[in-house]
Every structure is written in structure tokens, then in C-alpha cells.
């Protein structure tokens, strides 16, 4: 005699599995493609291994979520940004927020904050007291689709020289091919320390601060709430446990920070 089938059984099993996933953000946190760019001191590679302030922080988050073996893949910024914008299941860091980006992506953080300045080649006569002055210089070096690029476009800048990375921007500045390059004050020394052929002494601020930004971890816009919330919870726990502060002090020692 054939066994009696229960039509409701597959449905109940599926419902049970779905319920377990919804109740377990760590399960949903899997399957994301974690991306970053070459942007020391936040993210860079040494002998093929990912290093940097934001890299260490994300690695600790992945460990708390039970995803310690997840790879962090390096891309040029514009390529990573496009993947985050057009594809599901992607994570990109470090990433500043803006009105435009808030409509496209999900965010966890903040993980860092910095004050934005225009930098000029040391000894240059270029002076900027604000955005209006900067619009009148010959050229400003920016990286395609990064926060500085988008910020300046939003503020009506047409004198932008666009490249693929910040290293190219500052090489152009050192060679006199552009007049200004924007960067965060805290990030500047750490960035220069790992760039062959560049030295912080080659550059100086061209005027007062123009913006203060907070840096986050960005997620594809379709990322489920449960995933974003699990990452945010893990980050908050790292801050409460003092892990975040310890990582911060290694890359940005308190006695080296600008007042």
C-alpha cells in the first residue's frame, strides 16, 4: 500500500526554513561580495594581502557574523561603484554618504570621519577661500565617481580632471598638470606614506576646510534589512568592546591627529 502523501509538508518545511533565515541575520549576511579600492591607510594590499584601517574593521565584522573566510576583493573605484549600483549582493568600503547615494545604497556606520580640504603643490600661488574660488582655477584632479568627484559636480564644478585613482590625482598635482586635489586631512598623511615617489611635504592646504564627511560601509540598494542590521550590530559591538578604538589608534595615533 503506497504511503499517504501530505501536500502541506513541503510548504511547512519551506516556511520553517524561511523563518529560521529571518530570525538569523548571520545566515543572511552570507553571499555578499565584499569590495574595496587601493586607498591607504583605509584599504591597501601588502604582498597580495588586504590591509588597512577599514579592512581590519570589516574583517572583525565578518568574524562576528561567522564569515571570517570571506575574501575582500580590490577593484578600481569606478568599477566597484558600478557593481554596487547595478548588481545585488555587493558591499563596498570606505564610502562617504551623500543625498544622491542615500537614494541608491544602504549604509552601515559611521566608521570614520574627516575634514575635507583642497591641497596644492607646495609653493603654488593658487589660493582658495571657498568653493567659488576653486571653481575658477584651471583644473582640479578627482577620481571618477568617488565622493569628491560627485560632491564637486553637485556644486557646479566644470573644471575637473578625472582619473582612475587618487594616486594619479596627486601625481598630476606634483607635476603641475592640475592645480588642486581634494582629500581628507586625516587621510592625507596615511595615504602619502604608502605612495612611491610622493611625500606629504610636496603638498599643502590651499585654504580653509570645505566640508566634513562621515565614512561608511556601503551595500547594494536591494540588500535585505536583516543583513544591514546584522552588520550594524556587529560594528556597534566592536565599538562598545574597544576593538574599534584599538584599530583606530594603530592607524591614526591620537598624538598625530590634527587639532
The one-character DSSP state at 96 is E
Helix locations, the chain, DSSP H: 8-22, 25-28, 53-64, 77-86, 99-102, 131-134, 147-154, 166-174, 185-193, 225-240, 243-251
Please write the tens of the pLDDT for every residue from 80-123.
999 999 999 999 999 999 989 999 999 999 999 999 999 999 99
pLDDT recorded at residue 200: 86
Task: Please tell me whether the peptide bond between 164 and the residue prior to it is cis, using omega within 30 degrees of 0.
Answer: no
pLDDT recorded at residue 253: 85
Which residue, chain included where needed, has cell 569628491? 148
Please, what are the averages of pLDDT over each run of 10 residues along the chain (259 residues)?
Answer: 40 38 38 91 94 97 88 95 97 94 97 96 94 97 95 96 95 97 90 84 95 96 96 98 96 69
pLDDT recorded at residue 234: 98
At 2, give phi and psi (nearest 5°): -65, 150
pLDDT recorded at residue 254: 80
Please write the tens of the pLDDT for every residue from 111-136.
999 999 999 999 999 999 999 999 99
Domains of the chain as residue ranges with CATH:
32-113+214-256 (3.40.190.10), 114-213 (3.40.190.10)
pLDDT recorded at residue 187: 87
CA of 178: how far to CAs of 73, 173, 193, in Å?
30, 5, 21
- 23 burial (CB, 10 Å; 0-12 / 13-18 / 19+) is exposed
Which residue, chain included where needed, has cell 570645505? 210
| Average confidence score pLDDT of the chain | 87
Amino acid at each position: 500500500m503506497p504511503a499517504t502523501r501530505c501536500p502541506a509538508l513541503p510548504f511547512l518545511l519551506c516556511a520553517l526554513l524561511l523563518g529560521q533565515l529571518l530570525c538569523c541575520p548571520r545566515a543572511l549576511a552570507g553571499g555578499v561580495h565584499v569590495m574595496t579600492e587601493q586607498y591607504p591607510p583605509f584599504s591597501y594590499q601588502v604582498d597580495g594581502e588586504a590591509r588597512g584601517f577599514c579592512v581590519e574593521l570589516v574583517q572583525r565584522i565578518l568574524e562576528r557574523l561567522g564569515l571570517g573566510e570571506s575574501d575582500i576583493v580590490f577593484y578600481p573605484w569606478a568599477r566597484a561603484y558600478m557593481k554596487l549600483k547595478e548588481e545585488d549582493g555587493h558591499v563596498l568600503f570606505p564610502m562617504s554618504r551623500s543625498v544622491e547615494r542615500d537614494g541608491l545604497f544602504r549604509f552601515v556606520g559611521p566608521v570614520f570621519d574627516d575634514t575635507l580640504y583642497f591641497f596644492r603643490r607646495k609653493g603654488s600661488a593658487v589660493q582658495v577661500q571657498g568653493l567659488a574660488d576653486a571653481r575658477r582655477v584651471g583644473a582640479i584632479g578627482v577620481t571618477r565617481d568617488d565622493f569628491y568627484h560627485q560632491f564637486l559636480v553637485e556644486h557646479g564644478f566644470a573644471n575637473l580632471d578625472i582619473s582612475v585613482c587618487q594616486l594619479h590625482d596627486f601625481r598630476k598635482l606634483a607635476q603641475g598638470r592640475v592645480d588642486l586635489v581634494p582629500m581628507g586631512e586625516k587621510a592625507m598623511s596615511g595615504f602619502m606614506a604608502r605612495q612611491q615617489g610622493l611625500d606629504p611635504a610636496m603638498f599643502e592646504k590651499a585654504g580653509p576646510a570645505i566640508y566634513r564627511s562621515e565614512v561608511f560601509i556601503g551595500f547594494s540598494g536591494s540588500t535585505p534589512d536583516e543583513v544591514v542590521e546584522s552588520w550594524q550590530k556587529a560594528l556597534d559591538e566592536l565599538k562598545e568592546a574597544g576593538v574599534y578604538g584599538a584599530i583606530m589608534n594603530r592607524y591614526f595615533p591620537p598624538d598625530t591627529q590634527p587639532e
